[in-house]
Amino acid sequence: MKLFAEKALLGTGWASEQLLTIENGVITQITQGIADDADKVVSTIIPGMVNCHSHAFQRAFAGFSEQGSEGKDSFWTWRNIMYQFLEQLSVDDAQLIATQLYIEMLKSGYTRVAEFHYLHHDNQGAPHNELEAMANAIFKASNASGIGLTMLPVLYQFSGFGEQTPNHGQRRFINSTAQFNELVSACAELAKRTPNTNVGIAPHSLRAVNKQGLIDAVNHVRSLDDKAPIHIHIAEQQKEVADCLAHYQKRPVQWLLDNVNIDKHWCLIHATHIDENELNGMVETGAIAGICPTTEANLGDGIFPTTEFMAKQGTIAIGSDSHISVNPVEELRLLEYAQRLIKQQRAILATTKTPSVGLNLWQQAAKGGAQSTSSNTGELAVGKQADIVVLDQDKLNCFATGEKYSLDSLIFASQNNCIKDVMVNGQWVIEDHQHPLEQDIQNRFTDLLAKLSS
């Protein structure tokens, strides 16, 4: 097919009157063109955003954990409530929740998701007859919705540093390393049968795995794919840093850098509490900082040193994590605003080359997200997968217009959804703000929420 865009944010920057030829899901040609040559004519296109960190089942949990207890709440009390909630979920429930979530992601401009998947077993903690049953529900949700998927099965073995015995709420997550590697291999087979998907792994955290389990799991997935993405929760909470120091005598990111062969396919999720040496180490290895601003704010985690990291050419990606928000615009807005509040300055995450904060953040996060998923996405260029977001220019015309301001208006001025159409892998999945399955899925999802909250 041929797509004509009045304005296109290409890998080289903004360009006018661009004709994109798309074959087998890939952009094969970009030329200065005329609308008469196109199958579809649109106003403004930008690359789709990659969501680098998702726990799909937590979408159904949004809103259930905001009951306070006189300032005594924290990430750790939230986690206990979450454990109680997920005890109820079946395989079918997980598939429905993920489908609802992925449709919401598409409508907001995400075109690929890295699913940090740790809900493996039944509600008694026993493996399903097919070990990959829960993972297969996620693959089915991806296929039904049309979003690209990077499946990251999670290795979870302990409840704390020092190989502490898992608690009751964690029983659905636990695998031996051998069983986990079997699951990863099964997911790799599912990916071969599901379009636009790939597989990596996610050792949950340094508190939930030991060194040998971590290394064995990495070696196994890299035997299947030498570019397989590896994601890990790290340094999210100050308690985690203190516990790691007490056990390993090193801070979490420093221990990881010293003990594992980190490369550009590693994504360190949160990395909120890092020192200068750890920050420099992440930059030197090429590891991606997977930042989840709305969830980190919701859980009271803290603020990643984004200004300093990006100033040293560190690579960032964004994720919606617990899905208290499912909107890349809000993630990027909060990413910048948190830095403004700390620095007491404005327009911080821009560069001399790219003075538009919105443009710089969208481009950097899209490219970093592609790197975090080892996917051929992240920019509009010949040879790249056709993951394309069409902006609703009628809505954006209410704010500062023109190439110079388009992404700033999208991220910092608009309050409504300004994503009109979305293409993933050469297929339209959102047209005129709508997904073909959304009403049916939403009706079933609201019924499920009513059952879970009764």
CA 93 from chain centre, in angstroms, equals 21
Of 357, 379, 411, which Cα lies nearest the Cα of 10? 379
The closest alpha carbon to 173, from 218, 127, 141, belongs to 127
| DSSP sequence for 334-390 | HHHHHHHHHHT-SS-S--SS---HHHHHHHHHHHHHHHHTT-S-SS--TTSB--EEE
Q: From the CB of residue 72, how many other CB atoms can be counted at a distance below 10 Å?
A: 7
Query: Encoding tokens for residue 245?
Result: 């120091």
Query: Is residue 19 within 8 Å of 32, Cβ to Cβ?
Result: yes
Q: Are 52 and 114 in contact (CB under 8 A)?
A: yes
Residue with the two structure tokens 């609703």: 392
Active site residues: 270, 321
Helices 91-108 and 438-453, interaxial angle, to 10°?
Answer: 130
